């Protein structure tokens, strides 16, 4: 999967050159999506990590506050994944 985001202020990817910019929406958002889908779809996934820190507790709290309609929509898309 390839994701392009041209509308962000950019953040340097760890260990990369300053010319390479990775927006927060990518390094935070994609990890959150992977975690949320793994939980809703009940599939195995590695623990979520942001910049080397385990954020499973934080993401678990956020999952608890996910509105029921959103949860149901995520569950619906499992058959297409």
pLDDT in tens, 8-35: 665 555 565 556 667 777 788 899 999 9
User: Which has the minimum average pLDDT: 1-10, 19-28, 34-43?
Assistant: 1-10
> Residues 62-73: what's their mean pLDDT?
94
Judge whether 21 and 7 are in contact, CB under 8 Å. Answer: no
Running DSSP on this structure, what letter comes out for residue 47? P
Q: How many CB atoms lie within 10 A of CB 56?
A: 12
What is the pLDDT at residue 69? 96
> Residues 47-54: what's their mean pLDDT?
92
């Amino acid at each position: 999967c390839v994701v392009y985001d041209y509308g962000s202020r950019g953040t340097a990817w760890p260990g990369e050159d300053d010319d390479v910019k990775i927006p927060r929406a990518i390094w935070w958002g994609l990890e959150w999506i992977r975690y949320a889908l793994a939980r809703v779809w009940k599939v195995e996934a590695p623990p979520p990590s942001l910049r080397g820190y385990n954020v499973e507790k934080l993401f678990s709290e956020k999952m608890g506050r996910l509105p029921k309609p959103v949860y149901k929509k995520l569950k619906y898309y499992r058959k297409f994944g």
